[in-house]
Amino acid sequence: MSQDWPLFEVFIRSRAGLEHKHVGSVHAADTRMAIEHARDVYTRRQEGVSIWVVRSSDIVASDPQEAEALFEPARDKVYRHPTFYAIPDEVKNL
Residues that bind other proteins (CB under 8 A): 1-2, 5, 26-30, 32-33, 36-37, 39-41, 44
Report which residue type is found at 5: W
* C-alpha Rg value of the chain to the nearest Å: 19
**Residue number with CB closer to other proteins (41 or 70):** 41
Name the nearest CA neighbour of 6 among 51, 73, 44, 53.
Answer: 53
How far, rounded to the nearest angstrom, does the alpha carbon of residue 18 sit from its chain's CA centroid? 12
**Residue number with CB closer to other proteins (41 or 69):** 41
* CB of residue 64 to other proteins, shortest distance in Å: 29
* CB of residue 7 to other proteins, shortest distance in Å: 11
* CB of residue 26 to other proteins, shortest distance in Å: 5
**Residue number with CB closer to other proteins (20 or 27):** 27
Q: Which residues contact 51 (CB under 8 A, 6 or more apart)?
A: 10, 11, 12, 13, 35, 38, 39, 42, 43
**Residue number with CB closer to other proteins (2 or 62):** 2
